[in-house]
Amino acid sequence: MSRPVQYNNTIKFAGIPEGYMGEGFMATNFEKVVSLARKNSIWPLPFATSCCGIEFMATAASHYDIARFGSERMSFSPRQCDLLMVMGTISKKMGPILKQVYLQMAEPRWVIAVGACASSGGIFDTYSVMQGIDQVIPVDVYVPGCPPRPEAILDGFMKIQELVHAEGLRRRESDQYKELMNSYGIQ
Amino acid sequence: MALTNEIVQQKLTDKFGEQLTYWEQPYGMLTFVAEKDINIKVLQFLFDDEELKFRFLTDLQAVHYPDNKGAELAVVYHLHNLVDNIRIRFKVFTDIQKPDVFTATGVYESANFMERETYDFYGVNFVGHPNLIRILNVDEMDYFPMRKEFPLEDQTRIDKDDEMFGR
């Protein structure tokens, strides 16, 4: 007996940005095109040090499938990445290494802190553990949980997408952004 | 005849006499306390003796007894005779003001990292160690974290964000 064919008709396409369209051409805001492209092709750099990394593996695998958001390409070279995903406990000794990885990424770059440890030190209120990675690098989105479920990681990822979408092309040149970088000692 | 705790104790007593004290056998493991200055002599004897053959250093660490004035730090050696499968353990005590203990690296190469770890967490100064620097903690750390002089919840620390934790 043959199974009925099911078509996946719930696919959501990225919307066309506002613009002026005619036959064979479209004129729109350059910023909108760039942010649309950036938003749907974020290359993540997984920086997984403990159990949150396992949840991330589930997120990247077929069931939760982070590739639906244009992020199937995990890069393990920071130079080609857009999004640094810090998952797990970062000890004080790991701090400079994390900062080095962040410095090697090219602008524009985003950071997501996944889990209680990366966000605040979590249960490790102790001499050897950094109390939140925002002490060494600026963080865009914090995902709570110990560890967070894959849905939560995806939600955090979608928040990053919103940020990427809304970010203007000149934000990284602004004085506020430079001030933020200077507060972390990054030129 | 198989090696037993009694034979080990007898041989050690014959060799070192009154310098070894507090003999006991918790859970069948021979344990004693040696004087601080003879720790390497004891290790070397246990290593070299044809019958004892304690040629594997299982572990080496320290314990802090803050109430034991004048002998706050204990350095504990765990040895294993792999031929007869017998383990023993002995301790030396030292003053926390002058925590100098002779290094065991001359007898056991593996003591190198273990002594660095013990120095890292308890500040035991192993005299003669080839490279006594921190091994696990950050180099900038200016205290020895496993000593019991630090409160678990330090209210004065500044690296924790109070806003998030409602302190």
Would you say A167 and A35 are in contact if contact means Cβ atoms under 8 Å apart?
yes
Write out pLDDT tens, residues B55-67: 999 999 999 999 9
* Interchain CB contact of B149 with A (< 8 Å): no
Separation CA A82–CA A165 (nearest Å)? 13
How far is residue B55 CA from its own chain's centroid? 17
pLDDT of residue A18: 86
- Is the confidence at residue B139, as pLDDT, over 80? yes
Given a contact cutoff of 8 angstroms between Cβ atoms, the answer to whether A101 and A78 are in contact is yes
Question: Where does chain A have alpha helices with state H?
Answer: 30-39, 51-60, 95-104, 115-120, 150-166, 175-183
Q: Are B138 and A127 a contacting pair at CB < 8 A? A: no
Please report where in the chains the tokens 């007996």 appear, as a residue.
A1
| Chain A touched by B136 (CB under 8 Å) | yes
* Sequential pLDDT tens for chain A (187 residues): 788 888 877 777 777 888 899 999 999 988 889 999 999 999 999 999 989 999 999 999 999 999 988 888 888 899 999 999 999 999 999 999 999 999 999 989 999 999 999 998 888 888 888 888 988 999 999 999 999 999 999 999 999 999 999 888 888 889 999 999 999 988 7
The span from the CA of A92 to the CA of A88, in Å, is 13
Exposure string (b/e) for A70-83, b if CB count within 10 Å is 16 or more? bbeeebeebeebbb
Q: For B164, which of A93, A120, A135 is closest by C-beta distance?
A: A120
pLDDT tens-digit series, residues B76-96: 999 999 999 999 999 999 999
pTM across the whole model: 0.82
Chain B residue numbers touching A121 (CB-CB < 8 A): 160
Among all residues of chain A, which has the CA nearest to that of B159?
Answer: A131
B119 phi and psi angles, rounded to 5 deg: -65, -40
For this complex, say whether ipTM is above 0.85: no
B43 vs A72 pLDDT, higher one? B43
Contact A127 B141 (CB under 8 A): yes
CB contact under 8 A, B160 and A128: no
State residue B116's pLDDT score: 94
Report DSSP letters for B3-51, one per residue.
Answer: --HHHHHHHHHHHHGGGEEEEE-GGG-EEEEE-GGGHHHHHHHHHH-TT
- Tell if the CB–CB gap between B161 and A131 is shorter than 8 Å: yes
**B141 vs A contacts (CB less than 8 Å):** 127
Q: Which pLDDT does position A122 carry in this prediction? A: 85
Please report, as a single letter, which amino acid is at residue B126: F
